[in-house]
A and B are shown apart, each in its own frame.
Chain A
Amino acid sequence: MDIEDAPLIYGLELQARCLCPQAAETNYTRFLVATQSLRQENQVHLITFDDENNQLEKTIFPHTSGEVWHISSSCNDVSLFSTCFNHIAGGDIRSGCKLWRLPADQCNETVTDSLNQPNSISEIGELKSDEVRSVSHVLWKPIEDDSQVMSLGSGQMHLWDIMKAEPRLIRVFKLPEKKGHPCPVTNGKWNPHHGAKQFAVATNQHIIGWDVRGDAEAFRIENAHGQLVRDLDFNPNKQYYLVSCGDDCLVKFWDVREPTAPVSVISDEHSHWVWSARFNPFHDQLVLSCGSDSRVVLFNKASLSSEPFGHLMDEDEDDLGSEKEPPKDGLIEIYEEHEDSVYAVEWSSADPWSFASLSYDGRVVINKVPKKVKFDILL
């Protein structure tokens, strides 16, 4: 393997299951990872991948509120992020969700060796309301200069405004129940198209899209997977298309206008539950998935891509171009650096070719798209 293609591995000291890219950052390949430990102080790691030197720079912040189950970052402000956490108090599990701000100098260009001068993240607010019993996920609205977040928890969706210091609950959406019990919600996602008027959640075996302006379902994919749907992601460049994955080891592609059958299914690569699937934000034919079979899989789904084949070709290159085969769908690579279940995989928000994956044993792996694939897409 080319040395530049070699993965970078970073070991956390504690178990971890949540990872997110620093969504507003466009210059650096940065990821946030939060640990999950019941008995030790948890941490939030800010990892910066230095592409030129092929090195990782990391900053560790203590997270004192409890074990982190979900982390996500603002799409507008580089320094803002949120964590959803549990902590034990008096023999009971308490869950909470807080908004944090990174220390200012961490967002600047000069990343100093922060281990020497321990910084800390500052809490700027907590999503808390009498109507909200628990928050398991927080999703920042992917619209510029917008200050709304959606939280998920105990069978409900909550829309918050975080403009002011104290987050304000705007609206509560009640998710469908099954036999009187709230269905487990595994994840949710804003639809980035049309000014993010839709929000989709994965609950049980279904995917339900809501129109957040009113209290109405926009679409519903019944029985999207044979078992639990674990995750979903909207194609950032091609409206109506989304990817979902679940406990039936499948990754499915959907057109939400046609919810009866998937557009395409990837069935052979995972041998256990698929926990996460992500479109590359720049070249959406690249799709990542990871699962509890300790694998990270990179697919090429050119047939569903927003980039039609050959639209970049100049007319002078016709001779060369005609020899080129149209790209085919297929597996690009299986990454097997993990030895435990991989619960999260994320593309970098700055570099279209880098991505990070996190396994339960706390191992973060930064990988790159193979050069050949990269050149095939670019040229």
Chain B
Amino acid sequence: MTTPKTEMDVVGNNSRQSHKNMLKMYYATDLPQDQSNFNPLDIDSPTFQADRYLKKLKQEKSLAELMEAENDMAKQIRTLDSDMQTLVYENYNKFISATDTIRTMKRDFREMEKEMVKLTSNMAAITHLNSQISSTMQGNRQQINKLVGVHSVLKKLQFLFELPSRLKKCLATKSYAAGVSYYLRTKTVLQHYQHMESFSGIEQDCSKIVAEIITELKKTFYDKDSSAQQLADCVGLLLRLGEPADLLCEDYLEHAKHKLDEDLQELESYLKVDKATVDKSANASSDGGLYIDVLEFIDRGSNGFLSNLSLTITAYENLFIKQIEITAISSAMVGQMTPLFISEEVSKVASMKLAKFVEDLLQVYFTLVENRLVLEKRSRDNALVVRALDRFYRRLQATSNILADSDIMVHGEGIIVRMIKARCEHYRFALKDFFTDCLTDIRHTISAPNTVSGKSSPASLNLLDLVNSTASALLNQVKSVLADVQLFTVRDINFASLPYFRKEFPCEDVREGIIVHFVHYISETLRSFCDVSSAARLVASPPTVLLLLSKLCRDFEQSTIAYLLTLTDEQFLISSKDRTTDITSLTAEIGETAQKLLEGYVQSSGVSVSRMIRTSIEARDWLKCVEPRQVRAVMRRVVEEITQTDQQVGSLYEEGTRKARSSDSSKRTQTYQTSVSRQRERGHWGVYAPSSNMDNSLLSNIQKLFSERVDVFGPVEFSRTSVLTGVIKISLKTLLECVRMKTFGKFGLQQLQVDCQYLQLYLWRFVSDENIVHTIIDEVISSCLHRCIEPAAMEPSVIDVICERG
């Protein structure tokens, strides 16, 4: 069952092990990998330990299994043996063929050795021959060398001697470039051999001719008509001839300046003409041939001056900055001593000169343009201005693109922004003027029919139409201004992308500067009309104007302002956080103005009625009146005036609220009768019983306690009745105060009773609370009773009859 272990086996085992190791080393099999697979029990493992394997088998397996393992093992050994045998046979064949090959090689090498010996001897012979030839040729070669050298010197000399004539020929044929290159090539040689007479002669000749060439070149250089290419060549040659670069730059710029100055002068002449024309635009047609509008001016400026300037700049850059570099490079290649940094210096100087030159000229140009634009400040044609500005901006942009690092755009933008601000200001003033015109129109319209056809027509004048037309005229004007201003920010306008247009222009200049400012202006102007402290206000504005303007403001408050601001915000895309002044404060302001105007209207109409009443009371001797036969004409006029006021107000304002009132006039008469009878009673009491005076005043005081306090010049609401109540209160209170200043006789009292009844009859319908009229009229009558020396009141029925007749 076990394979007996012999000595041989052990030895064989050992030697096999070492072979295996050698092979392993040869194939560089990974040892660590083997180690990781270290398993002494694995029969295929290199670290297999037969003893342990056996031991394990014996321990673990049953007899049958062991038997089977043994069989298995024997079978495996047999197959391995047969494999080994086939391998040996195959390798043996190969070995035999290898031996054959080596044998043939040995034979061939012997032949080869012979050939090699032959080759060596041949080579030695060749070497020998070679050295022989070279020694024989030695002498000739040196001679040839010398001769070639002489030949070239002679050639050069010939060139030198021929140089003057050649240069002359170049001069004659104007091929300066060749001449210059000839000269430059020989210059150093000539200078080197200056001490020899013949050379110095040649040099002098050459210098003379070169000087001529230089003058020729300069002539071309200064010639106005020389083309850019010619100029460029010229400058290049001159530079190579060592002319000082900065002088050339200056000369060139000086030369260019003349041309540009001419352009500028032309512009200036236009400017003068334009100024004259704008100043007296009336006779513009007289010298209209010379007048050009702003767009054309800018056009000419751009086409003439700016494009010439651009050309000059490009040419200059080509001529100098680039030429200097080229010259420097070429001379460096030739090996002349123009170190590169010097040329850099020169080109820097040249660019600086150019920059200064351009700046100076543009300064002049900008001044001209700005002066011209100032003339357009009040122009009506905004589109033209916008186009002119846009063109100006575009051309300037083009120019500034050529000139790399310059701040001409800053100046240009400055001009544009200033111009636009000036335009905004103009619009602001234009709006103000327009508003003032509107006011004047309103006044004319209101006062015209008065003067033409007297009293009857003002009522027929449609105030509402006037308000609406004025409001829409104002609105349209503001809209058109907005539209005009909006032209500045149209998308295809180049300068609209400036940062100024993002925030400052729409918010500050348009919204605040024009719209809000305008609203403030309206409000201020109108307030000044009803400013109580200005003594001349009543003369300045007739009451109807105040009424109309108050309605106008009311409309503004209710819709127009909000609409305008929203429109502005939308058109100019103003975000809500940039809206400095909000709508509500503006509408509130205008609303207050409307209120003030209306109060002013009430006051001044009240005062004008008061004036009538006062004169009528003061001018009359009430002590010696005759018995009243009719209502005094003044009272009819008062009622007429109030009716007219009512119509005016009614055409503009709503009816307004009324306190519940008694609709039938009989009741009013009734109350009046009772009050009269009461007063009469009181009067009699007064006559016959002086002691009852306390009760008397007490009575009237009690009466007052129950009647509401009347604020005469009080606040007014935007309604027909409220306005009329105000006017009537003022009028009646005046009547009261005037009556108290007079002394009445019997008929005086009766006349006043008639007048009061008449007023009461006609005025109650206008007011919101007819009790106000009753209260004040009662007070008038009672005051009159006090001021009457013979208080005998008229029969109410008689009063009624008289009033109805009147």
Contact = CB atoms under 8 A, between A and B. Distances in A.
Interface in B683-715: 686-687, 690, 693-694, 697, 700-701, 704-705, 709, 711-714
Given A93-B623, A272-B733, A292-B733, A39 B697 contact: no
A340 B733 CA distance: 12
Nearest to B714: A271
B236 interface: no
Contacts of A373: none
Nearest to B742: A93
Interface in B490-514: none
Interface in B129-163: none
A272 B533 contact: no
A227 B700 CA distance: 30
B694 A13 contact: yes
B532 A39 contact: no
Contacts of B791: 39
Interface string A166-187: 0000000000000000001000
A360 B697 CA distance: 10
B789 A250 contact: no
Contact of A265 (B532, B538, B711, B714): B532
Interface residues of B, number: 36
A92 interface: yes
A351 interface: no
Contacts of A273: 737
Interface in A319-365: 339-341, 360-362
Could you say which interface size class chain A belongs to? 35 or more
A360 B740 contact: yes
Nearest to B693: A13
Contacts of B532: 226, 248-250, 265, 267
Interface string A236-254: 0000000000001110100
Given A38-B743, A40-B693, A91-B623, A341 B737 contact: yes
Contacts of B693: 13-14, 40
A88 interface: yes
A262 B533 contact: yes
A248 B537 CA distance: 12
Contacts of B733: 272, 292
Contacts of A37: 786
Given A91-B623, A262-B533, A339-B704, A271 B711 contact: yes
Contacts of A267: 532-533
Interface in B731-765: 733, 737, 740, 743, 745
Chain A residues touching B, majority SS: loop
Contact of B607 (A11, A224, A227): A227
A88 B745 CA distance: 10
B687 A91 contact: no
Nearest to A270: B713
A270 B532 CA distance: 13
Nearest to A38: B789
Contact of B711 (A225, A262, A293): A293
Contact of A223 (B535, B686, B690, B704): B535
A293 B714 CA distance: 11
B624 interface: yes
B74 to A, nearest CB: 127
A92 B618 CA distance: 16
Contacts of B478: none
B786 A88 contact: no
B275 interface: no
Contacts of A361: 697, 700-701
Contacts of B536: 223
A13 B704 CA distance: 17
A339 B701 contact: yes
A263 B599 CA distance: 24
Interface string A104-136: 000000000000000000000000000000000
B787 interface: yes
Contact of B712 (A38, A271, A362): A271
Interface of B is mostly: helix
A15 interface: yes
B697 A271 contact: no
Given A13-B697, A40-B690, A361-B701, A91 B713 contact: no
B561 interface: no
Contacts of A293: 711-712
A225 B535 CA distance: 7
Point out which of B535, B687, B694, B791 has the most chain A C-beta atoms below 10 A from its C-beta: B535
B10 to A, nearest CB: 124
A184 to B, nearest CB: 8
Interface in A68-103: 86, 88, 91-93
B217 interface: no
Nearest to B691: A13
B713 A272 contact: yes
A88 B789 CA distance: 8
Interface string A3-40: 00000000101110100000000000000000001111
A134 to B, nearest CB: 13
Contact of B624 (A38, A91, A224): A91
B788 interface: yes
Given A93-B623, A227-B607, A362 B533 contact: no
A272 B737 CA distance: 10
Interface in A185-241: 223-227
A262 B786 CA distance: 38
B619 to A, nearest CB: 10
A88 B686 CA distance: 17
A33 to B, nearest CB: 15
A340 B700 CA distance: 10
A227 B608 CA distance: 11
A91 B745 contact: yes
B704 A226 contact: no
A233 to B, nearest CB: 19
Contacts of A92: 623
A252 B534 CA distance: 12
A360 B780 CA distance: 13
A116 B536 CA distance: 58
Nearest to B712: A272
Contacts of A17: 740
B743 A11 contact: no
A14 B713 CA distance: 28
Contacts of B712: 271-272, 292-293
Nearest to A360: B740
A252 B533 CA distance: 9
B623 A226 contact: no
Interface string A245-284: 0001110100000000010010100111100000000000
B788 A226 contact: no
A329 to B, nearest CB: 15
A223 to B, nearest CB: 4
Nearest to A260: B535
A271 B789 contact: no
A78 B352 CA distance: 100
A179 to B, nearest CB: 13
A292 B607 contact: no
Given A271-B712, A273-B737, A360-B740, 12 more contacts: A11-B697, A15-B786, A38-B743, A38-B787, A39-B789, A91-B745, A93-B623, A224-B535, A225-B535, A293-B712, A339-B701, A361-B701
Interface of A: 11, 13-15, 17, 37-40, 86, 88, 91-93, 184, 223-227, 248-250, 252, 262, 265, 267, 270-273, 292-294, 339-341, 360-362
Q: Which 6 A-B pairs have the closest CB atoms?
A: A272-B712, A223-B535, A271-B711, A265-B533, A271-B713, A13-B693
